Amino acid sequence: MILCLRNFAVHMVLLVAACAPLLALEPAADTPFVQETHVAYPLPDDAANDVRAVAIGPDGTVWAATRVGAWSLRDGAWSKVDGASQGECFDIAVDGQGSVWIAAWDGLYSMKDGAWSVVSPVGSPIRAVYADASRMLAGGPDGVWSKEGDSWTTLTGQWPQSIRAMAPDADGGIWLATGMGLYRHHPSGDRLIHKPEDILTGALTGAAFGPDGRLYVGGLGGVDAFEGDKSVKRYTPADGLPTVEVKCLAFGPDGRLWVATTRGVTRFDGKSWSLRHSRRWLLDDEVRDVAFGPDGTAWLATRAGVSAIVPRTMTLAQKAAEFLAACEARHVREPGLVEKCRLRVAGDLSTWEPRDDDNDGQYTAMHLAAESYRYATTKDPDARAKASRAFRALEFLQTATGTPGFIARSVVPASWTKMADANEELSPERRAVGRAQDPRWKPVEQRWRPTADGKWLWKGDTSSDEMTGHFYGYYVYYTLAADEEDKERLRALVRRVMDHIIDGGFNLNDIDGTHTRWGVWAPEKLNGDPNWRAERGINSVEILSFLKTTYMITGDFKYEEHYRKLLHEHNYAENIRHAKTYAPSERTHIDDELLALAYQALLEQEKDPATRRILEESLDWWYKGLAHDESPYFNFLYGALGGKDFGRDAGVASLRDAPLDLVEWTVDNSRREDIRLQRSPEIDPLQTDRLLPPSERFVIRWDRNPWMAVNGEDGFAESSGTYWLLPYWMGRYYGYIAPAE
């Protein structure tokens, strides 16, 4: 009894210590925030998609000036404007009375009350127009004209003829942005600003007054902010512009400056810049014009059509519901596996179809964990049902093999003919080349085998990644959500799987009797074979986690005995101390994720203070390389396991900023001029010198390097959203995020 009380006291001390970070923090409020989404509005053909400018009418009609005339968008459908120019149109505007003005190669066109006319006295090419509640300006190589009421005035002055934009000021002046400098026309005197010491660039393309009263002008080189005729601030790629190629400027309803460039559209709120680029946000990165609808939607003229960036107000809880709905609609395939889906047409969700993946088991397990956290937080029976479905799918990955304890990578219906890594015959040369490139490579010709009933095909050569994911899913489900029936099934399953690994000498033996390519945790390999030196630390953590999980679930002390033997007799205690490798040629974010999956059971179940100190040292060593990744998953897990200064707020901010669009668009940040490329923190992919926010990156998975400059699948796949749902529900469960207000 005394021993039991002592163990209970130690357990309570450890539990209180682990919960200390939770108790010290107030939950982050789930207040509504603005979540942007992209809606594409391509025009009927390539010529029409060459859009030069956009304007919004008072009734919400979107007007577009294109290479082949003007178009209008109503109720989601484009119509050609028949009464105006059918050729090159340069600009378009809507005045305070609702009249539409089109600057075209053959003059200035106006539409009022549904009727179009060519405006006199302007009969020459018009390059730019400006309109507000009381005034209309038109300019081109032959002059500038001003209209107030029904009267036209021809302006006179000595300005460059290459007019690109115009902006009247409050003092009766008119600013002309030209290809040869900035010109101010005023009755009291005119001035041309073009010298390098006075303006950043003479090749101007846009001008707009901001809410601060400053005139902002941009062009080839960047953006100048003027007070009067003096430049007081300059913005270049060093300050946040993605490129020096500025196309236009506009201020949104919230006062932010929008800068359209050839690398997307970037916004400045006075403190920071946020870029919208790639096919996730735009039909093309070359943005020519920006206009705003009454609801705050930004309409963008691009080289490939019109894009709308639509602001939505939502909470994290609402976002979680949308991600889960998308997952259920397209990402759960029989027998309950959860992973990406394939899109036959890039970005078109209506063309989705299921696909297999080498990590079907691992990511189904992570989905199982997400639903387990949801159930533990909300007690929603729907969450438990979905968690049970995912668990039964993991269970089937084992029973489908017809073996006592081997687990398949994936299963697909027997009717499938299009799978990853199809069966193949390997020539002697191919085998030799494979071993020459990687001495640990295992030639596997038959990757897919039928189940005993012939209904399914299962995939072998299962990896250590998969096993780590499975055991993580078992652990979280058992502790948080499993009912008694599933707990009993879990006990039997985890015993079979762990015994199979132990019987294989702490290796994962395939049905050929030899270990799979990556399924190695044996002491003689990790400690004695130099080919496995790089995996020594992480694989030691994995196998110890497997054993600790099995002991916790089954209560069979033999698994604890194996755990202690590896820990002390085979020196795994030292192996795990600095399990994460930081050698540039060996470091990967795959290992970061796998350690995250393995640490939880170890830190939560280990009661021996000396061993805990080693595990805590290992955890700290792991997290020091992730502290700047702003990952909600890694941050929340580190905090939950006792880590301090774990970046709760950065994790919540990442959850908010993550796009709703889960399509795996390729995002190329290598062409941006506001960042530098480097080979750090890993040496393999090109990476950015600063971490970009989630909305400017590819769709993340926690085994991917968030610093990568280029990544994606060109829009032909969609993520399941599990990467987001897991940390969100962890944050809710551990008290880092409050329920939605």
Structural domain contains residue 347: no
In a domain, 326, yes or no: no
Whether 6 has a pLDDT exceeding 60, the answer reads no
User: 499: how many CB neighbours lie within 10 A of its CB?
Assistant: 16
Q: How would you class 309 by CB atoms within 10 Å of its CB: exposed for 0-12, middle for 13-18, buried for 19 or more?
A: buried
In this structure, is residue 192 part of a structural domain? yes
Residue 404 pLDDT more than 90?
yes
Beta strands at 332-333 and 69-74: parallel, antiparallel or unpaired? unpaired
**What pLDDT, in 10s, does the model give residues 559-578?**
999 999 999 999 999 999 99
- Identify the CA nearest to 193 among candidates 154, 219, 170, 213: 219
Map tokens 């603005």 to a residue.
34
- Number of structural domains in the chain: 1
Judged against a pLDDT cut of 50, whether residue 468 lies above it is answered with yes
Q: Give mean pLDDT, residues 242-271.
A: 97
Span 333-369, pLDDT tens digits: 999 999 999 999 999 999 999 999 999 999 999 999 9
Reported confidence tier of residue 24, pLDDT bands at 50, 70, 90: low
Whether 469 is covered by a domain: the verdict is no
Q: Is residue 157 part of a domain?
A: yes
pLDDT value of residue 321: 98
Quick one: DSSP state of residue 694? Answer: G
Residue 45 confidence (pLDDT) above 90: yes
What is the structure's pLDDT at 485? 98
Does any domain span residue 677?
no
| Mean pLDDT, rounded, for 649-674 | 98
- Say if residues 207 and 159 touch (Cβ distance below 8 Å): no
3-state SS of 134-199 is CEEEEEECCEEEEEECCEEEEECCCCCCCEEEEEECCCCCEEEEECCEEEEECCCCCEEECCCCCC
CATH number at residue 158: 2.130.10.10
pLDDT at 13: 35
Among the listed residues 200, 302, 318, the one whose alpha carbon sits nearest the alpha carbon of residue 247:
302
As beta bridge partners, residue 118 has 109
Assess if residue 298 is contained within a domain: yes
Distance of alpha carbon 282 from alpha carbon 275, whole angstroms: 11
- Domain of 103, in residue numbers: 33-314
Structure-block tokens of residue 652: 């919540």
Given this model, what pLDDT does residue 25 score?
79
Mean pLDDT of the chain: 95
User: How high is the pLDDT of residue 95?
Assistant: 94
Structural tokens at position 289: 């014009």
Residue 411 lies in a domain: no
CA angle centred on 132, ends 130 and 135, rounded to 5°: 80
Q: What count of other Cβ atoms lies within 10 Å of the Cβ of residue 255?
A: 11
Give the per-residue pLDDT at 35.
98
* Whole-number pLDDT of residue 20: 39
